[in-house]
Structure 1
């Protein structure tokens, strides 16, 4: 069982990490210490008892368990295992819980290395919107052994209304990647049908209202369709096509490892690559509807390869961690 007086650390106070850490700091009876490379990100914790750390090392020195909310696998690896990482000082946390989205292979590799150093590891990626993160109503998919899961589950409920033990380390990422792929692919399909329906004489709001009452209803229709594609509003600092492509590259990598031909995922990669190139880089990914509406051609070769940076980027010092550590993620 979780220790109510344990000191919890939190690294990464971005779009998702900030509200998640705020919930932890507001609900946990013990101390909470947080760090982000962008000192301004700590404003997300104003009014809580959370303490601001000056470095990753300071978090490691004081926390019993550390939660991470970082942009991807390379950042997780560096913060955990880099020269100034969580396990390099005199004091190591008992466990690290990664709330980020990474490859399955990365999660399992980090877990093995940490276990050899006496530190337990769980992958616990999150789903739902930033608003859900603010309300503490995320869905959290956990990969961990039974004992570690029992220990961390109460803390995860600070952030999530639905916490699912998916299996051993890596299984949380499997479920999260499948969740995200379904969201991205459903968004693309809904965008295509909204354009088709409007050109055939049905107003988009009427289409969504009617379909929401039938078997075509979905989370994507009620959220991405109504809130973004219907008003054609695609703000910055939301989940952009670049993040979509990173997650889809993780899915493609896993599919290749499992000898599954993921053709729908490959098509989605091409559409979201075109979205990023057509002026919607950095903007909310349902902008894919504009690509379809404008008839922009997609290249059959676009988006089919996983990110070279994700695959080849070497370990380096924590101070070199991507500055977007503070950007966090909006998880599917």
Structure 2
């Protein structure tokens, strides 16, 4: 078993997954094997010692710890479940860590199925930017039992500087999803304030500078507001409006399950949907400010 735990598998080498995998290879002191449907990130990671694998099953055969960093809950379910899924091939004592943003009900279902095979499951969704992923300074919210958290903590520390053990399985997803929900609602409020100020003859930079000195100050203001909404800078290959809409959908799904209306989240969701309908779905998600500025 110790031999299996000495090897790490990583599935999903996208915008965030590739630098996380690279950091694990460089800092963990363990053999790291990677898988992605694209060859380019595997070629780049080969120079950092990551061993390319042909399919996820190969990881399950060799690695006692497997990380997932996938763009949707649907893909997480597809990789994990089924006759040829990871959970059917992993061994008792192995650990499966989902660093994707995944619906809470799916996370808990996968954890139950993992437990049936003696596999330990943790949800560890990430927050912050591509730059933070490159630097290994992500914020990671973790749902796991104490023993599993203790086992994966040194590995997560290769990727993040702020690790929060939020409680049992599913808790990391709850906190991450709600963090995104609050952030998106805040950017809607900032976009509305900017649109009103512009029409009322007040300079947007002056408005946001004053906010930063007062009670409206926030991370969303200083990063999304000042760096994206104010200069109208919405690059591709960032966290897109389409991804944001997906994550907010998970929050609304959770809110419905626990009987909360979450009206503010519904407003943010409507803004994101309109952005996608306008053709801005692949742009950095604060592009919703365009919808606000245009009057919807």
Give the TM-score of the pair, scaled to structure 1: 0.85
2:128 maps to: 128
In structure 2, do the counterparts of structure 1 residues 182 and 91 end up closer, same or farther at CA, with 3 Å as the change threshold? Answer: same
CA distance in 1, matches of 2:75, 2:207: 42
2:80 maps to: 80
1:142 maps to: 142
Q: Which has the higher contact order (CA 8 A, sep 6+)?
A: 1
1:198 paired with 2:198, answer yes
CA distance in 1, matches of 2:33, 2:97: 15
CA distance in 2, matches of 1:72, 1:250: 10
1:245 paired with 2:270, answer no
Q: Is residue 4–residue 30 contact of structure 1 (8 Å, CA) maintained in 2?
A: no
Q: Deviations over 1:123-153 (max 9, x none)?
A: 0001111111111111100000011001111
Shift of 1:20: 0.9
1:1-332 map, 5 Å? 6-89=6-89, 94-296=94-296
Q: Deviations over 1:155-206 (max 9, x none)?
A: 1000010001100000001001100001111111111111111222222222
Q: Deviations over 1:215-269 (max 9, x none)?
A: 2111111111122112211112222222122111111111111111111111111
CA distance in 2, matches of 1:142, 1:228: 29
CA distance in 1, matches of 2:75, 2:93: 18
CA distance in 2, matches of 1:261, 1:142: 26
Q: Describe the SS at the equivalent of 1:61.
A: helix
Gaps of 5+ in 1: 297-332
Q: Is residue 143–residue 172 contact of structure 1 (8 Å, CA) maintained in 2?
A: yes
Q: Describe the SS at the equivalent of 1:19.
A: helix
More helix by share: 2
CA distance in 2, matches of 1:269, 1:126: 21
Q: Is residue 33–residue 51 contact of structure 2 (8 Å, CA) maintained in 1?
A: yes
Give the TM-score of the pair, scaled to structure 2: 0.95
CA distance in 2, matches of 1:40, 1:91: 30
In structure 2, do the counterparts of structure 1 residues 205 and 44 end up closer, same or farther at CA, with 3 Å as the change threshold? Answer: farther
CA distance in 2, matches of 1:290, 1:234: 10
Shift of 1:41: 2.1
1:312 maps to: none
CA distance in 1, matches of 2:5, 2:92: 18
Q: Describe the SS at the equivalent of 2:88.
A: coil
CA distance in 1, matches of 2:4, 2:155: 9
Q: Is residue 66–residue 93 contact of structure 1 (8 Å, CA) maintained in 2?
A: no
Shift of 1:89: 3.7
Q: How many residues align?
A: 295
Shift of 1:47: 3.1
CA distance in 2, matches of 1:273, 1:73: 19
Shift of 1:39: 1.2
Q: Is residue 177–residue 250 contact of structure 1 (8 Å, CA) maintained in 2?
A: yes
CA distance in 2, matches of 1:72, 1:42: 21
